[in-house]
Amino acid sequence: MASTELELKPVTHITTDAIGQPGKRVFYLQGWQAERTVTLIVEKIQIQSLALGYEQFLKEIYKNYPGLPVTNADYDEKVMHIAPPVDPLFRVGELGLGYDPDKDLVVLVARELLPEEADSASGSVVRFWCTRDQIQAMCQWGLEVAARGRPICPQCGEPMDPEGHFCPKKNGHKHD
């Protein structure tokens, strides 16, 4: 696939979501700019890390620009699900954040996951330019979606499948 460089500046909406049964879900990042929709595949841990990293990033923005109004974004679940068709452009290898103080926009940079031997300059990149409210709502929703996965074993801390799991703390015996 040829490399692509897209810039949605600004997005009209940005979200993340998962499709599938817990344990077999595929996570997506999707942004809209008017009629244009860009969908990317991400890992659950990337969504969780982004949400936690954004909190630190936001503190740094407020420290550097103390006059900014504080965001108080909340999400509406009805509008946070991804929209079909789900045709991902690429699988994300790296997510990064930036800030434009003149426009008060946060940029979420998504870089394509490439094989180790590939030239990093050949990968695709999408930049989603968002308001602080938009990205904060997406991060809050992302944590909610991630938490809807498989229950965690109280013994070993690993995810449990509906049919049980191999628990090292239970000497390998399955339990419900």
Report how many domains make up the chain. 1
Please tell me the predicted confidence (pLDDT) of residue 159: 72
65: pLDDT strictly greater than 70: yes
In a domain, 31, yes or no: yes
What CATH number should be reported for the domain holding residue 134? Answer: 3.30.2450
Specify the higher pLDDT residue, 26 or 152: 26
In a domain, 139, yes or no: yes
Q: How far apart are CA 22 and CA 151, in angstroms?
A: 9
In a domain, 29, yes or no: yes
Q: Beta-strand (E) ranges in the chain?
A: 5-8, 13-19, 26-33, 36-42, 92-100, 105-112, 125-130
26: pLDDT strictly greater than 90: yes
1: pLDDT strictly greater than 70: no
59: pLDDT strictly greater than 90: yes
In a domain, 36, yes or no: yes
112: pLDDT strictly greater than 70: yes
Specify the higher pLDDT residue, 1 or 132: 132
Closest CA to 130 of 92, 91, 104: 104
Closest CA to 95 of 151, 30, 47: 47
Please tell me the predicted confidence (pLDDT) of residue 137: 95
In a domain, 155, yes or no: no
Specify the higher pLDDT residue, 148 or 94: 94
In a domain, 109, yes or no: yes
Q: What is the mean pLDDT of the segment spanning 50-66?
A: 94
Please tell me the predicted confidence (pLDDT) of residue 171: 67
Average pLDDT value over all residues in the chain: 89
User: At 140, is the pLDDT very low, low, confident or very high (cuts 50, 70, 90)?
Assistant: very high
Please tell me the predicted confidence (pLDDT) of residue 38: 97
Q: What is the mean pLDDT of the segment spanning 78-88?
A: 91
Of the chain, the percentage scoring pLDDT greater than 90 comes to 65
Phi, psi of 143 (to 5 degrees): -65, -40
In a domain, 44, yes or no: yes
Q: What is the mean pLDDT of the segment spanning 85-110?
A: 96
Kindly state the tokens that stand for 32: 């809209």
Q: Of the given ranges (45-49, 112-116, 157-161), which has the lowest mean pLDDT?
A: 157-161
The model carries a pTM of: 0.85
In a domain, 13, yes or no: yes
SS3 141: helix
Q: Which domain holds residue 83?
A: 5-150
